[in-house]
C-alpha cells in the first residue's frame, strides 16, 4: 500500500501528507490495464502494437496528476470523505481471516472499531441517509422480515450469539478485504445508509462492512426502469420486486435482530475482543482436528504395515515345517 502511494506521489504521513486521498491508492491498486497493454513482469508493461515498454502502470501518470489536482483543490463532494480518511484508518484482514484496522499515521492496529469522535460533525455520521417513509417501507420487505425473524430465532434459542454471527461473517469479509481493503469513509457511509451510528453502535459496524461484501443473492436479477433509469431488483422464483439491493435489506433485518438481543459492547481496553477469542477458539479446534487426523493416519499406516508384513508368522511356520521334516 505504501509502495503504491509513493508510486503516485501520495504522501500518507509526515509533512505535506494527504491521507484523505487514500482512496486513490486503492483505485490505483485495482486499476486494470488499458487496451493493448500487457504486463510481462512484476514492474514491466509493454504495448502490443507500438512495442512501448514502461517500468510502471500505464495510468500512473493519470493518478499522479489527479493527486496533484486534489491536493490543490478538494471538491466539495469529497470534503466529508476527506475528513474521515484524514484519520488514516484502513480496514484489512490478517492471514487468519480476522479483520483489523490499521492507522497509517501511528502504525497502530486494532481489532475493534476506531474512535471517530474527532470527526463527529461530518455528514457521514448523521443518522438516516434515507427518508423515514423509505425506512418504513424497507421494514416491510420480505428480505428484511426473513433476515430479522431468522436471526432473532437463532439468538433466542441459543444456537449462536452476536459474536458468533460476526465470526461467521469473517471468511467472506476476509476474502473481500484481501482483494479490496476498505476505507473508513466507506464503512461510515454504508453505516449511515443502514442506520448504524458509529458513535453509538461501534460493535455493530461489522454489519456495514458485510453489506459491502455480500453479492446479489441467487435468483435475484437487476433491471432498469426505462422511464427513470433507476435500477430495481426482481426475484423470479418468489415473484418479488424491490428498489433496494436485497443484501442490504438482509443486513437491515440482521441489525434489527441484533438490537433486540442482549449484546454487551466490546471493551476496547481488553487485549482480545470476544470476536478474537471466538476466532482463536475456532483456529484451535481446527488445529486439534488436524492433529487427530495426522495421529489416526499414522496409526492406520503402522497398522497397515504390521498387517501386510506377516513375515514372523511365516518364518515360524517354516521352522516348524523344517523340524517336522527333520524328525521324519
Pick the more confident residue, 16 or 170. Answer: 170
Per residue in 144-186, pLDDT tens?
999 999 999 999 988 888 889 999 999 999 999 998 889 998 8
* Total length of the chain: 328
Terminal Cα-to-Cα distance of the chain (whole angstroms): 89
Would you state the cell numbers that stand for residue 24, as one nine-digit string?
486513490
Taking 3-state DSSP, the helix, strand and coil percentages for the chain, each rounded to the nearest 5, stand at 55, 10, 35
Phi first, then psi: give them for residue 93, nearest 5 degrees.
-135, 140
CA 166 to CA 168: how far, in whole Å? 5
Alpha helix positions (H), 261-273? none
Please say if the pLDDT value at position 277 is more than 70: no
For the ranges 10-14, 26-30, 68-72, 138-142, the lowest mean pLDDT is seen at: 10-14
The per-residue pLDDT for 124 is: 74
**Residue 213: band (very low, low, confident or very high) from pLDDT cuts 50, 70, 90:** very high
The per-residue pLDDT for 5 is: 80
CA 76 to CA 78: how far, in whole Å? 5
The per-residue pLDDT for 43 is: 80
The per-residue pLDDT for 224 is: 92
Pick the more confident residue, 268 or 39. Answer: 39
- What is the residue-averaged pLDDT of the chain? 78
DSSP structure string for 63-112: HHHHHHHHHH---GGGHHHHHHHTT-EEEEE-TTS-EEEEETTT--EESS
Output the pTM of the full model. Answer: 0.69
Nearest alpha-carbon partner for 87 in 100, 74, 104: 104
Per residue in 57-81, pLDDT tens?
889 888 888 888 877 766 666 677 7
240-242 and 109-110 as β-strands: parallel, antiparallel, unpaired? unpaired
**Residue 187: band (very low, low, confident or very high) from pLDDT cuts 50, 70, 90:** very high
* Cα 60 from chain centroid (whole Å): 27
| Percent of the residues in the chain that have a pLDDT greater than 70, as a whole number | 72
CB 5 within 8 A of CB 26: no
Nearest alpha-carbon partner for 187 in 124, 249, 244: 124
Number of other CB atoms surrounding residue 176 within 10 Å? 20
| φ/ψ bin of 9: left (φ > 0), alpha (ψ from -120 to 50), beta (otherwise) | left
SS3 of residue 259 by DSSP: helix
Mean pLDDT computed over 294-307: 46
Amino acid at each position: 500500500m505504501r509502495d503504491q502511494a509513493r508510486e503516485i506521489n501520495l504522501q500518507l504521513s509526515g509533512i505535506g501528507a494527504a491521507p484523505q486521498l487514500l482512496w486513490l491508492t486503492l483505485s490505483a491498486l485495482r486499476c486494470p490495464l488499458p487496451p493493448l497493454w500487457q504486463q510481462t513482469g512484476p514492474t514491466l508493461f509493454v504495448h502490443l502494437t507500438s512495442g512501448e515498454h514502461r517500468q510502471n502502470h500505464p495510468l500512473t501518470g493519470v493518478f499522479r496528476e489527479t493527486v496533484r489536482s486534489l491536493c490543490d483543490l478538494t471538491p466539495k463532494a469529497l470534503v466529508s470523505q476527506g475528513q474521515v480518511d484524514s484519520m488514516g484508518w484502513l480496514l484489512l484482514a490478517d492471514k487468519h481471516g480476522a479483520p483489523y484496522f490499521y492507522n497509517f499515521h501511528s502504525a497502530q492496529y486494532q481489532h475493534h472499531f476506531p474512535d471517530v469522535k474527532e470527526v463527529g460533525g461530518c455528514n457521514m455520521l448523521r443518522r438516516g441517509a434515507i427518508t423515514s417513509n423509505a425506512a418504513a417501507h424497507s421494514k416491510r420487505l420480505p428480505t428484511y422480515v426473513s433476515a430479522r425473524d431468522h436471526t432473532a430465532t437463532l439468538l433466542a434459542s441459543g444456537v449462536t450469539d452476536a459474536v458468533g454471527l460476526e465470526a461467521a461473517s469473517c471468511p467472506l469479509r476476509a476474502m473481500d478485504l484481501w482483494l479490496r481493503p476498505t476505507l473508513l469513509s466507506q464503512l461510515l457511509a454504508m453505516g449511515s445508509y443502514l442506520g448504524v451510528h458509529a458513535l453509538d453502535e461501534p460493535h455493530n459496524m461489522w454489519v456495514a462492512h458485510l453489506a459491502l461484501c455480500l453479492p446479489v443473492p441467487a435468483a435475484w436479477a437487476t433491471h432498469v426502469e426505462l422511464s427513470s433509469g433507476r435500477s430495481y431488483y426482481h426475484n423470479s422464483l418468489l415473484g418479488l420486486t424491490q428498489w433496494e439491493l436485497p443484501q442490504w435489506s438482509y443486513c437491515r433485518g440482521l441489525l434489527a435482530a441484533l438490537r433486540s438481543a442482549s449484546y454487551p459492547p466490546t471493551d476496547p481496553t481488553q487485549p482480545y475482543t470476544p470476536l478474537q477469542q471466538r476466532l482463536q477458539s475456532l483456529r484451535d479446534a481446527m488445529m486439534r482436528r488436524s492433529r487427530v487426523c495426522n495421529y489416526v493416519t499414522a496409526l492406520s499406516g503402522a497398522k497397515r504395515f504390521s498387517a501386510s508384513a506377516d513375515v514372523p508368522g511365516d518364518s515360524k511356520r517354516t521352522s516348524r515345517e523344517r523340524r517336522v521334516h527333520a524328525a521324519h
